[in-house]
Amino acid sequence: MRPKLLPPLVLLASVIAGGTIGYVAIERWSAWDAFYMTVTTVATVGYREVHPLSRAGQAFTLLLVLGGVGSALYAFSAATAVVVDGGFGRYLADRRRSHMIESLNQHYVLCGYGRIGAIIAGEFQRQSTPFVIVERSPERAREAADKGFLTIEGDASREDTLRRARIDAARGLVAAVGTDAENVYAVLTARVLKPDLFVIARAESEDSVPKLKRAGADRVISPYQIGALQIAQTALRPAVVDFFEIATSSENLELSMEEVRIAERSSLGGHSLGEASLRQRYKIVVVGVQRLGGAMEFNPAPETVMKSGDRLVVLGSTANIKELERAAAGG
């Protein structure tokens, strides 16, 4: 219920309830007759009286007319204002978004919709990755919602807020709030609610990196450090940077760099890259193999054996990578 609409509706309901009780007490009518008389009086429809009224009943009816008609007009004008200014439409949109959030599964919880958060949200949208934004600022939350993003207005460090974001069914959490302290609290809360959640945190300063890791972040990213390194690499190796931008850009439909996990039931497990003939069968290039323990093997040899839980970093067309993902999942 919209906050502006709640007080007049409560007042109107109170008047109707009071009128019903008054007729029952004064005239000894049944509850239904008393309710019917109250509604017709407040609505000023002009029907005849249900039963003849006593002098006390007439006096009570006069009071009910004065108070009830005013309450009804107040409720009607409030409802009209909500519809006219678009509030009712926003209310329906908010309800629809709430239902969509409740049905989320294997999604990302994006904490913060500032400059960094907006870029992350746009990339998630381009990659067709389900996500929900948690933003404390009402203005930024409304801005995100107006762009069509599923948004929850609230503090990302509060357990009830993250529960509303369906963190129990989430795939990961990105802490990109404005300050390092807020990100630490968001990471701590997320780790308590779901210990196995994959958590990425944004760091403003180098001093905060170990703190965020101790709080439970699996990855800590410093946008300023990455930006500075990107500028330096562009100056020193522009062709290399151009290649990686093409390989990792979501707007490039012909070439993509992705990671593919080898499931336990996959037929690829236990076979070497050469035996599986990944290059010939799927027309992809295996750039690296990340073992289950986290160690990364770059430019693996054909004799490299794939194991369950390993992640292949591959380069190829989107269609070919999707085909490899199905084989790696055991499909």
Residue 2 pLDDT greater than 70, yes or no: no
Nearest Cα to 45, choosing from 54, 53, 36?
36
Is 139's pLDDT higher than 90?
yes
CA 40 to chain CA mean position, Å? 46
Q: Give kind and range of the element (H or E) at residue 151.
A: strand 151-153
Domain 254-328 sits in which CATH superfamily?
A: Regulator of K+ conductance, C-terminal domain (3.30.70.1450)
State the architecture of 6-84 in CATH terms.
Answer: Orthogonal Bundle (1.10)
Q: Are 308 and 300 in contact (CB under 8 A)?
A: no
Structure tokens at 91: 């209310």
Phi, psi (degrees; rounded to nearest 5) at 138: -60, -35
Name 196's Cβ contacts closer than 8 Å, sequence gap at least 6.
none
pLDDT score, position 22: 85
**Per-domain residue ranges of the chain:** 6-84, 104-226, 254-328
- DSSP secondary structure string for all residues of 248-300: H-TT-SS-EEEEEE--TT-TTTT-BHHHHTHHHHH--EEEEEE-TTS-EEES-
Overall pTM > 0.75: no
What is the dotted CATH code of the domain comprising 104-226?
Answer: 3.40.50.720
Instruction: Report how far residue 322's alpha carbon sits from residue 315's, in angstroms, rounded to the nearest whole number.
Output: 12
Residue 248: the pLDDT is 63
Tens-place pLDDT, residues 45-60: 766 777 888 888 888 8
Residue 108 CB partners (closer than 8 Å, separation 6+): 124, 129, 130, 131, 132, 170, 171, 172, 173, 174
pLDDT tens figures, 270-293? 999 999 998 889 889 999 999 988
